[in-house]
Structure 1
Amino acid sequence: MQNPSPRPPAPDPDDRAAAEVTGDAPTVVVLGGTGCIGRHICAAFAGHGYRVVTVARHPAPRVTPHPHRSLDLRTAGPPVLRALFDDERADVVVNATDMAGATDTTGAADGGEARAAELLDANEGLSRRLVDALTGAVRTPRLVHIGTIHEYGPGDSGVPLHEDVEPAPVNAYARAKLAGSRAVLDAARSGAVNAVVLRLVNTCGPYPTPAGFAGKLLPTLRAAAVAGEPPAITVGDAMRDWIDVRDIAEAAVLAARRPVSGHAFNIGSGVCVSMRDLVGHALAAAGLPDSGVRESTGQLRSLGADWIQADIGRARALLGWSPLVPLKQSLRDMWDAGETSR
């Protein structure tokens, strides 16, 4: 679908031993390295010979190959972060956090002024503290910040979203993510830090977040398989761009290594797929019939627009990156992995 010769499916990042590294290997510190995207980013960097350090409040039992630093990133100030980066001799820092728990409904992401303030502090607040920490760090690490396609807002149906689109997010979650990305980009463009932003479309693949559509779909399919009955699934009349988490991880590695500070990059498949087709592919991967799937006659609430497709030309040109895992393969690997991230 994207590329007729995809890379072989990556091993489970939690079960794979970290690549052997030498004493002079570069170090990457992955904030949120135990999460659904962070764990794959850790595996990709390890596969490229990096020493990987994960940072989160608690280590994940299954994410074992890498050293872990327990830290509450919601409250850690610039001096604590700077000391962490200096102590680990970080060459790269990846912010793979989704600090306030994104969901796929505007109800949860736009739940009043208090929720909006929490989202803003968790995203923009962390970005600004990272910028302050990196400004005074000994080794001046490259920062790769993970954003979202929803920062642009709905866009126009049939028109792929380009990085030069003026952002106009429509809910508290997207506004908070945009504020975080802008804090990083403004600092990079001023020369204060060496940083890039990756804006991701909807994600799929092994161990999806339970907050997203793919992560909610997987247990539904599992329950149907156990019951021996077709699942009852309602999907909206929407078109979305989907990207495999392993393609995201490779984009993060390339973004860490290319001299492209101050840029934002869309990371997606560049292909728009109907939600009905997505669910059909997932059912086929699970060996289940699609007779229980129906389309909603009304609009289902979502973080994004009814039509989302990323223009990925900048990532191809400046990062040398292209998506390699086809959607059907991604969904088969998600089914085979068998569970969401924790």
Structure 2
Amino acid sequence: MTSESSGGTLHTKVLLIGGTGFLGRHVLNRLSTAGTDVTVVTRRPPAVPAGYEVAELDDRGPRRAQFASMINRFTPDAVVNTAGEIWRNDASLLQAANAQLPEQLALAMADTSSTARLVHLGSSLEYGSLPHPHATDESCPQEPRSEYGRSKLRGTRRIFEIAQQASLDVVVLRIFNAIGSNMSPASLLGKTVRTLEQARRDKRLARLTLFDLRQHRDYADARDLAEAILRATVSRRPVGAPVLNLGTGQASSAYDLVRGLALASEVEFTIDVLPAPEGGGRSLAADWQIADPTLARRHLDWSAARTLPETLRWIWRTAGEGQAHPIAGCPAEGTR
């Protein structure tokens, strides 16, 4: 799959689906710095940094045929799917982006008899919840409690069905709560950054609010996740497991996250904790969840390298650099 020049530069051709979303942009940056030849498949060509080849998705045409045409044209060694819908809690949008799009991509690879590796980004919320202090490994029940998680699981299962029929080389990397620079303003940290920035400009106390969800999650640095995705993409040998969990193996609360970012900003702040809303979407889908990253260490020689305080300092230091992923977005671009 991958060759190297005498200087050690990677010569992997990668078709990157959705490289303009939050995590997709970090993946694009890591693939590029590693020396891979990246073509970005997107509905938003202007959002792609200069210097990259772009293949534009057309809403008027069928996804399957468009993907097949791109695969035939670029003959990639690997196809990385970072596209998906996350913030709009609309069942039809979630289904289109998280289930139908990966299905159409896998079908296109089967249609073209592609030998490329398909690296698909799944979600920790494809699993059910476990009680404290248990960690989620790849054998845990797949019993998602949110429509987001159910749509992601439908996409994963459909990919594997097609892969089995067409002998595709597929690995699914289940992401546990990616955080990093330029997060969506709809996210907890995105909202916190904006509040802290405004308070700093106005030279006043930042009043931060969050729901009392009593959740603990596994928050992983987007740069560490992008490194794991790179390793799965350029590996010459079979990954060794069809699904790998990517996380730190440590849990933090939403309160810890907000307070840590506020401390990193050095802006004076207060935190108001509000009663949790009834019902709930993606954010209420798991009370306790941390990854067991054993298989990722074994098969990718990867583990999270950065601490949560380090990541929060990076998020604040880079606040305002570039344009955050828009709330509205589109079903083919948002990323876990």
TM tier, smaller? 0.7 to 0.9
Partner of 2:42: 56
Normalising by the residue count of structure 2, what TM-score does the alignment of the two structures yield?
A: 0.85
Unaligned runs of 5+ in 2: 1-6, 327-336
CA distance in 2, matches of 1:296, 1:24: 50
Does residue 222 of the first structure (1) align with residue 178 of the second (2)?
Answer: no
Equivalent residue for 2:230, pick from 249, 253, 268:
253
Structure 1 position 72, deviation (Å) = 3.9
Verify: 1:341 aligned to 2:316, yes or no.
no
* Runs of at least 5 residues in structure 1 that lack an aligned partner in the other structure: 1-20, 110-114
1:232 partner SS: strand
Return the alpha-carbon distance in structure 1 between the equivalents of residues 105 and 240 of structure 2: 16
Distance in 1 (CA, whole Å) between partners of 2:51 and 2:189 is: 26
Q: State the AA in 2 paired with 1:246.
A: R
Question: Which of 328, 336, 342 matches 2:309?
Answer: 328
Q: Which residue of 1 aligns with 2:13?
A: 27
Which moves more between the two structures, 120-129 or 309-318? 120-129
Deviates more, 1:213-222 or 1:193-202: 213-222
Aligned length: 310
Q: Distance in 2 between matches of 1:276 and 1:311?
A: 23
Alignment match, 2:266? 287
Instruction: Tell me, yes or no, if the aligned pair for 1:188 and 1:262 is still in contact at 8 Å.
Output: no
- Aligned-partner Cα distance in 1 for 2:227–2:149: 24
Counterparts of residues 95-110 of structure 1 (less than 5 Å) = 95-98=81-84, 100=85, 102-103=86-87, 108-109=88-89
Distance, in Å, in 2 between the alignment partners of 1:267 and 1:74 is 35
Query: CA 1:61–1:135 in structure 2 vs 1: closer, same or farther (change >3 Å)?
Result: closer
Deviation at 1:197, TM superposition (A): 0.7
Say what the alpha-carbon RMSD is for the aligned residues. 2.4
Task: Give the 3 Å change call, closer, same or farther, for CA 32–155 of structure 1 in structure 2.
Answer: same
Tell whether the 8 Å contact from 2:82 to 2:121 is kept in structure 1 after alignment. yes
Query: How far, CA to CA, are the matches of 1:193 and 1:239 in structure 2?
Result: 36
Report the alpha carbon displacement of residue 268 of structure 1 after superposing the two structures with TM. 1.1
- What is the deviation of 1:309? 0.9
Matching of residues 269-308 of structure 1 within 5 Å: 269-290=248-269, 292-298=270-276, 301=280, 302-308=283-289
1:32 deviates by 0.5
Question: Which amino acid in structure 2 is aligned with residue 259 of structure 1?
Answer: P
Correspondence 1:164-179 to 2 at 5 A: 164-179=139-154
Within 5 Å, give how 1:186-197 maps onto structure 2. Answer: 186-189=161-164, 192-197=167-172
Partner SS for 2:45: coil
Contact 2:57-2:66 within 8 A present in 1 as well: no
Q: TM-score, normalised by structure 1?
A: 0.83
Amino acid of the residue matched to residue 250 of structure 1?
Answer: E
Q: 2:290 aligns with which of 302, 309, 313?
A: 309
Is residue 147 from structure 1 mapped to residue 122 from structure 2 by the alignment? yes
Q: Percent identity?
A: 31
Q: Map 1:64-213 to 2 at 5 A.
A: 64-72=50-58, 76-98=62-84, 100=85, 102-103=86-87, 108-109=88-89, 115-137=90-112, 139-189=114-164, 192-213=167-188
CA contact (8 A) 2:110 2:166 kept: no
Q: Which residue of 2 aligns with 1:240?
A: 217
CA distance 1:261–1:96, shift in 2 (3 Å): farther
Using the TM superposition, give the Cα deviation of residue 307 of structure 1 relative to its aligned residue in structure 2, in angstroms: 1.5
